[in-house]
Amino acid sequence: MADLNRPLEADASLSDQYPRADDQAGVLPPLSLLDVIALLLGHIKLLVLLPLCLGLLAAGLTYLKTPVYTATVRILPPQQQSGVAAIFAQQLGSLAGIAGAAAGIKNPADQYVSMLRGRTITDGLIKRFDLKSRYDTEFAEQTRKAFENRTEITAGVKDAIISISVEDQDPKIAAEIANAFVDELSKLTRSLALTEASSRRAFFEKELLKSKDRLASSEGRLRESGVSPSVMKAEPRIAVEAVARVSALIASAEVKLGMMRSVMSSTNPDLRLAEQELVALRAQLAQLDRKTTAAAGESSDSSDYVARYRDFKYSEVLFELMAKQYEMAKVDEARDSTVVQIVDIAVPPERKSGPKRGIIAIVVTAASLLLTLVFVFIRDWLRREKLGGQSTVALDQIAANFRRKRR
């Protein structure tokens, strides 16, 4: 019996603290609340001193790290719409709302936040301030990643004001980079606006030349037709002007229908309504053609004159429309279509924003306390299992395997 009791005598304190519920089964009772309190009080020094020392050590190590400063600039996103775009929106009416809904942009500032985070502006700032050397990076992608980690760009949900914050070890450089974001955004939006306006100007210039040639050709054919008494009785001006007006409505409806087909399905009721309107306009145009022919009489001269006069009026209206659009495109190309307004300019910060010693110390202390508690409970559980005799063989096998791997 002495040999059997020898392992328990080696740890008499645990035997007293955790008495066996069943010697034959070797099962220890679960820990009660008083057992947990006793366990924690038994390791009170470890639970207090170790997390406290590690927290103080972490706070002390932050003094070895170079402090950083954060500069912030706040801007209003460009709200101005280009002249031609505004006129198109007025002409399209309800279609402008459909196109806006299809775009899916709830907050206009989100679009400019994406532009500020884009590679074009990022690479421009990296090259401007030589951030590759400043961040000591080898590749451009590493420089972009380091710059993104030091930059925060957010847009207000209610006021749509964009805030750009930049961290740097030099407060002056941080303010300069934050303000440079505004310059790069202005350059990018100006370039996009000029590209769009130039494309519109080139398109309308080409269409204007075509309409001019057509007007000259139709005017020449009209002069060649001559004037006769039967033609004077036809009085084609009113009928022809009505035909020209309906033709213009058909052209506008076709443009509207084409845009709607690009953003809607074939079963959309608005699209079907637009198709029915186009069919009705074409039927009205055919009816006006019949009336014009009947008013001109059976004379081939009258019919020929009416057709040529109608073609001349259509070419004249088309030329005037293209000329107006061309002039507006030239104005849009010549002016700056976007203005970025600064609400608060970035200034060199007086106080550092990091490292946050208090937060670091609290986090390290809390994490150390948690790990120490886990260690204490695992250690107590192993002792209880060894004392109970259920897991002695398994624990010895684990220890033997661990020693074998170390060798």
The burial class, CB within 10 Å (0-12 / 13-18 / 19+), for 89 is: middle
- What per-residue confidence (pLDDT) applies to 236? 53
Give me the pLDDT at residue 195, please. 66
Q: Retrieve residue 370's tokens.
A: 């948690």
Handedness of CA 20, 21, 22, 26 (dihedral sign): negative
Say what the pLDDT of residue 367 is: 94
Cis peptide preceding 67, ω within 30 of 0: no
Edge-to-edge strand list for the sheet holding 151-155? 151-155, 162-168, 69-76, 341-344
Identify which of 293, 301, 292 has the alpha carbon closest to the alpha carbon of residue 230: 301
Position 162 scores a pLDDT of: 93
Residue range 69-195+340-344 in CATH 3.30.1890.10: yes
For tokens 């820990």, the residue is 31
Residues 6 or more apart whose CB falls under 8 angstroms from that of 321 comprise none
The DSSP string of 258-280 is HHHHHHS-TT-HHHHHHHHHHHH
Q: Which of 363, 367, 385 is nearest to 375 (CA)?
A: 367
Instruction: Determine the pLDDT at residue 240.
Output: 61
Per-residue pLDDT at 154: 92
Measured between alpha carbons, how far is 132 from 144 in angstroms, rounded to an integer?
A: 9
pLDDT at position 383, please? 79
CB within 8 A of 157, min separation 6: which ones?
Answer: 107
CA distance 189 to 52: 54
- The pLDDT value given to residue 34: 83
Query: What distance in Å separates the CA atoms of residue 29 and residue 18, rounded to the nearest whole number?
Result: 7
- Mean pLDDT by groups of 10 residues along the chain of 407 residues: 42 45 52 81 89 89 84 82 46 40 55 90 94 92 94 88 93 94 88 70 79 81 59 51 72 68 72 84 79 55 65 76 78 68 90 83 92 90 69 62 66
CA R_g for the chain: 42
What is the model's pTM?
A: 0.51
Bridge partners of 75? 162, 342
Distance CA 242, CA 14 (A): 108
